[in-house]
Structure 1
Amino acid sequence: MSTPSTASLYERLGGVYAIAAVVDAFIDRIMVNPKLNANPLVDEAHHRVPKAGFKYLVTEMVCMATGGPQRYTGKSMADSHRHLKITPAEWDVFAQDFKAVLDQFKVPEREQQELFELVGTTRGDIVMEEAPSARKAG
């Protein structure tokens, strides 16, 4: 058993069941967010993939990234997001939804900060830094 000071982020978050509950609420929230679905490519993806499978893969990923025993079996972040042409503004909306769900589940600030650091490492694979006008032309 780990002590609180040596416990992994996975352990401090409560393990797979607690992480799955947060992912469940988060995916439900982002799948219907009108600001995210204003991007027609995101909207199409949100309606193409079954929510249950999406939630499963995100749970795997979060568990693995936070030190749990699970192994992520999905596509790379670049392969699963490159075609969606996600803008920095859309990333910010995603982050706001993530923060709201973490607050809803009363995730402590230290753990929230660590989660945002982990999520931040994926930004370069997910966000297109081009101007919105370039996105429409492409």
Structure 2
Amino acid sequence: MSTESKKPSLYERLGGIYAIAAVVDTFIDRIMVDPTLNANPLVDEAHHRVSKAGFKYLVTEMVGQVTGGPQRYTGRSMLESHSHLNISAAEWEVFAAHFKAVLDQYNVPAAEQQELFAIVGSTRPDIVVERPVAKAS
């Protein structure tokens, strides 16, 4: 019999769905009103079209699932829900800075933050519209 104990899932290490929901609640409140993100008229319109409560629910559901919890995400894919928003790399960086600030606010340990950023980072290709770099003449 192995004496090694199984490492708890990221979901468990984050404190389960109630802790995840608290972080998501604060995070969504921040990004929904960010002037840099809302300077993109497509993002601004989306932020005013969707219910904040419903958005928080879906994000909480998604984070629960991708961190190893029992939740099952029922929303649209990241590509389907973001491809029409024309989100730039700079806007992604603002989004990521808010995420980091909220994780710090809730004292999420560095190792768990790294895992979360890896998960979130994996969605970047489906969310960010990469623009070609202009060549100097």
TM normalised by structure 1 equals 0.91
Q: Which runs of 4+ in 1 moved over 2 A?
A: none
Q: Which amino acid aligns with 1:111?
A: E
In 2, the alpha carbon distance for the partners of 1:27 and 1:4 equals 35
Which segments of 5 or more consecutive residues in structure 1 lack a partner in the other structure? 134-138
The change in CA–CA distance for 1:131 and 1:4 in structure 2 (over 3 A counts) is farther
Q: Which amino acid aligns with 1:86?
A: I
Contact 1:87 1:132 in 2 (8 A): no
Q: Which residue of 1 aligns with 2:112?
A: 111
Q: Which residue of 2 aligns with 1:51?
A: 52
Q: Which residue of 2 aligns with 1:8?
A: 9
Deviation readout 1:67-91 (Å, 9 max, x if unpaired): 0000000000000000000000000
Which segments of 5 or more consecutive residues in structure 2 lack a partner in the other structure? none
Q: Which residue of 2 aligns with 1:120?
A: 121
Q: Which residue of 2 aligns with 1:136?
A: none
Q: Which residue of 2 aligns with 1:68?
A: 69
In 2, the alpha carbon distance for the partners of 1:8 and 1:124 equals 25
In 2, the alpha carbon distance for the partners of 1:102 and 1:20 equals 12
In 1, the alpha carbon distance for the partners of 2:33 and 2:120 equals 20
Identity of aligned residues (%): 73
- Aligned pair count reads 131
Residue 130 of structure 1: how far off its partner (Å)? 1.5
TM normalised by structure 2 equals 0.92
Residue 4 of structure 1: how far off its partner (Å)? 8.1
Contact 1:61 1:72 in 2 (8 A): yes
Q: Which residue of 2 aligns with 1:100?
A: 101
Question: Based on CA coordinates, which of the two structures has the bigger radius of gyration?
Answer: 2
Q: Secondary structure at the match of 2:119?
A: helix
